[in-house]
Amino acid sequence: MLKNIIAPVQAWLLSQGRCVGCGTPLKEAVRETRKKGEVLVCKCKRIYIKDEDKKAYRRALLTEV
């Protein structure tokens, strides 16, 4: 039940370009360029991948870290 509440809020934050943990804009995150794309590390240590095709952000998988 709790997951049904949290998932839409996290999806909304990612669509706004904000971190799901602390809410800061991902424009302020530390950027690293890798062969799979641009990797962003937020100040709360959450790791995101920027999808250039869709112009959207997503959480990184453990295999991508």
**Residue 30's pLDDT is what?**
96
Closest CA to 34 of 50, 53, 55, 15: 50
Helix (H) or strand (E) holding 12: helix 2-15
* pTM of structure: 0.86
> Residues 37-54: pLDDT tens digits?
899 999 999 999 998 888
Q: Looking at the predicted structure, is the pLDDT value of residue 36 above 80? A: no
pLDDT, averaged across the chain: 92
Identify whether the C-beta of residue 57 lies closer than 8 Å to the C-beta of residue 48: yes
Identify whether the C-beta of residue 33 lies closer than 8 Å to the C-beta of residue 46: no
Q: Looking at the predicted structure, is the pLDDT value of residue 15 above 80? A: yes
Average of pLDDT values for 7-31?
95
7: containing domain: 2-64
Closest CA to 50 of 28, 25, 63, 31: 31
Please give the tally of structural domains in the chain.
1
**Residue 27's pLDDT is what?**
94
